[in-house]
């Protein structure tokens, strides 16, 4: 099983797909498309999967990195979606990606602005969330239940909270990804291990019943990939390829703070949004010491950009909510970076914050299958449904879905230095060998050897792949600038 992706393999795979038809062509290599490639390949189908840019170039790298138990869907009465989320969370935590998904604690501070009634309501919600965990058969040892903490303990978990009037906190647990882009890379590499041909820098220009017209973005050359079924997993760009798909993207912004901005923070925070009964801003400590603060939900009209911009009003809105609970306010100069992503929501009436986050699998008149909506947490189930539809459409010779028991690359515990194990799981020892050869620090706690690993095994083709997706150094522009020369150097080693 060769799970390494690199420039040489890309060239060899390109040559093959130009000459041989495949069962399934997947367009888009975010979590959804990579999931479809893995699902189809692990059922024994031949697969090509293309992305116009890179693995995780789109929305999949701009998430809150949470693997949700589905509580918010339960609150809206979407019981099926909530249960599905909880089941998928359990699969990731226990079987397919225990190295990338861990339980993380979240504290809701009981400030004077939170009434006793509201606190009771939120606790009831957390208990229902724990019920979802139980219904999905995820053991408590993987995901502890909620509890109420006295003020002193709440402040120990979150020292920056304002002490005055703090009655305590409500503690709950949910899944957290070490990094969303790394999840996509792991899924794509696992698919490659099952024989899928993973082709980045290949843009689909036009999709049709028997395949797609594709352009190699590195050479400018166009060619046809012949396929029995085409699956459009192009996220917010899906409508550009299948015009009958109508999406209503919504922008979610996160701020990136350095750890010093909120010193000693050991749990995430659910910060109630003033004037909203059941919506929270999220404070999300990351394993690299940075802290994200999110997130907005604003409908976006007009052309879909490759990389969404963060408007200044999103920054001030998030800071304003965050500062309602802090002893010392975080000011604009402490915002080290910010990012925005577009949710691929299907068009419907209503506020985007209220649209269903359930995914959809749609077959267009020209028999292209589109899979969209949903979320990172449910990528596996989305892929299963899309491949089921493809198999039915063309009567493909495929076995049943097996991805609920296919561990992603790195899921086997093999040991290695702890910082590396957190990011690379069972591959940490192999990465460490490269780090010993190239120990030079490149920023955000990473060494040059990790960049070399990404070039040789994770399909990084240029410095943006390294800094913006294989590592997330680029989320802080100042750190990105400082690491650029090392990233270029990694391609010469
Ligand atoms: C701000 C925000 C926070 C979120 N937080 C969470 C969270 O915490 N947990 C969670 O579970 N979900 C979360 N989500 C939802 C989740 O991120 C998305 O549902 C998911 O990432 C969508 O993945 P995708 O693969 O469908 O799309 P994408 O990741 O956008 O992938 C589409 C890919 O298609 C490629 N593409 C486009 N056009 C073409 C073409 N013509 N040819 C070839 N390739 C093409 C793009 O380059 C891109 O890589 C969040 C979403 C947002 C916006």
pLDDT digits (tens, 9 = 90+) for 195-235: 999 999 999 999 999 999 999 999 999 999 999 999 999 99
Residue nearest to ligand 1 atom 27, measured at CA: 235
Residue nearest to ligand 1 atom 35, measured at CA: 28
Interval between CA 207 and ligand 1 midpoint (Å): 20
| Residue where the block lists tokens 């990011």 | 423
Ligand 1 neighbours by CB, cut-off 6 Å: 27-33, 50-53, 57-60, 62-66, 68, 203-204, 233-237, 241, 252, 295, 341-344, 374-377
Share of the chain above pLDDT 70, in %: 98
Inter-residue contact 339 to 310 (CB < 8 Å): yes
Across the chain, what does the average pLDDT equal? 93
Torsional sign, CA 397, 402, 406, 408? positive
Residue nearest to ligand 1 atom 19, measured at CA: 375
Phi, psi for 294 (deg, rounded to 5):
-140, -175
Cα–Cα distance, 354 to 253 (Å, whole number)? 17
Inter-residue contact 76 to 122 (CB < 8 Å): no
Torsional sign, CA 295, 297, 298, 303? positive
> Considering only CA atoms, which of 207, 59, 197, 69 is closest in space to residue 143?
69
Tell me the pTM.
0.96
The angle, 0 to 180 degrees and rounded to 10, between the axes of the packed helices 477-490 and 448-457 is: 60
pLDDT at 357: 57
The angle, 0 to 180 degrees and rounded to 10, between the axes of the packed helices 79-91 and 116-135 is: 60
pLDDT at 353 over 70: no
Interval between CA 31 and ligand 1 midpoint (Å): 7
Query: Which residues 6+ apart lie within 8 Å of 391 measured at CB?
Result: 43, 398
Interval between CA 224 and ligand 1 midpoint (Å): 25
Torsional sign, CA 169, 173, 175, 178? positive
Interval between CA 250 and ligand 1 midpoint (Å): 12
Residue nearest to ligand 1 atom 21, measured at CA: 60
> Considering only CA atoms, which of 304, 162, 184 is closest in space to residue 238?
304
Q: 25, 26, 28: which to mutate for ligand 1, most atoms within 8 A of CB? A: 28
pLDDT in tens, 149-175: 999 999 999 999 999 999 999 999 999
Taking CA atoms, 385 is separated from 138, 352, 419, in Å, by 23, 24, 36
**3-state SS assignment for residue 384:** helix
Q: 81, 225, 233, 237: which to mutate for ligand 1, most atoms within 8 A of CB? A: 237
Cα–Cα distance, 272 to 256 (Å, whole number)? 19
pLDDT in tens, 66-76: 998 877 777 77
**Nearest-5° angle of CA 375, CA 379, CA 383?**
135
Other Cβ atoms closer than 10 A to 169: 28
Could you tell me the two tokens for 75? 């609150």
Could you tell me the two tokens for 349? 């009436």
């Amino acid at each position: 099983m060769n799970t390494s992706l690199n420039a040489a393999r890309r060239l060899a795979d390109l040559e093959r797909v130009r000459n041989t038809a495949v069962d399934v062509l997947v367009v888009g290599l975010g979590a959804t498309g990579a999931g479809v490639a893995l699902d189809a390949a692990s059922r024994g189908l031949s697969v090509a999967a293309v992305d116009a840019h890179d693995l995780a170039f789109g929305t999949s790298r701009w998430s809150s990195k949470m693997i949700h138990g589905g509580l918010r869907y339960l609150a809206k009465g979407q019981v099926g979606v909530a249960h599905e989320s909880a089941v998928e969370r359990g699969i990731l935590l226990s079987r397919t990606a225990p190295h990338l998904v861990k339980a993380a604690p979240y504290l809701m501070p009981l400030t004077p602005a939170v009434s006793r009634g509201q606190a009771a309501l939120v606790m009831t919600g957390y208990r229902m969330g724990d019920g979802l965990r139980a219904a999905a058969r995820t053991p408590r040892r993987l995901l502890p239940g909620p509890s109420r903490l006295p003020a002193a303990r709440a402040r120990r978990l979150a020292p920056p909270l304002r002490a005055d009037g703090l009655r305590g906190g409500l503690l709950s647990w949910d899944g957290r990804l070490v990094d969303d882009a790394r999840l996509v890379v792991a899924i794509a590499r696992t698919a490659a291990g099952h024989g899928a041909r993973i082709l980045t820098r290949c843009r689909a220009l036009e999709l049709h019943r028997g395949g797609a017209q594709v352009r190699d973005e590195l050479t400018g050359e166009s060619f046809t990939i012949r396929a029995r079924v085409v699956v459009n997993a192009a996220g917010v760009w899906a409508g550009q390829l299948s015009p009958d798909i109508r999406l209503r993207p919504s922008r979610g912004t996160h701020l990136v703070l350095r750890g010093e901005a909120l010193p000693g923070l050991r749990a995430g925070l659910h910060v109630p949004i003033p004037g909203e009964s059941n919506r929270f801003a999220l404070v999300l400590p990351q394993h690299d010491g940075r802290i994200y603060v999110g997130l907005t939900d604003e409908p976006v009209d007009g052309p879909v950009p490759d990389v969404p911009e963060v408007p200044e009003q999103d920054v001030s809105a998030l800071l304003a909510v965050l500062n309602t609970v802090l002893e010392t306010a975080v000011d604009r100069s402490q915002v080290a970076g910010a990012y925005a992503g577009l949710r691929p929501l299907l068009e419907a009436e209503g506020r985007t914050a209220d649209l269903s986050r359930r995914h959809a699998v749609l077959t267009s008149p020209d028999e292209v299958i589109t899979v969209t909506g949903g979320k990172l947490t449910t990528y596996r189930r989305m892929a299963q449904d899309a491949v089921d539809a493809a198999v039915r459409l063309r009567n493909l010779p495929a076995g049943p879905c097996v991805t609920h028991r296919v561990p992603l690359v790195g899921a086997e515990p093999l040991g290695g230095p702890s910082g590396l194990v957190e990011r690379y799981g069972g591959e940490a020892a192999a990465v460490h060998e490269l780090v010993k050869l190239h120990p030079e620090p490149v920023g955000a706690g990473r060494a040059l050897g990790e960049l070399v690993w990404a070039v040789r095994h994770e399909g990084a083709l240029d410095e943006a792949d390294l800094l913006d997706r294989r590592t997330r150094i680029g989320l802080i522009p100042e750190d990105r600038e400082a690491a650029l020369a090392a990233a270029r150097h990694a391609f010469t080693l």
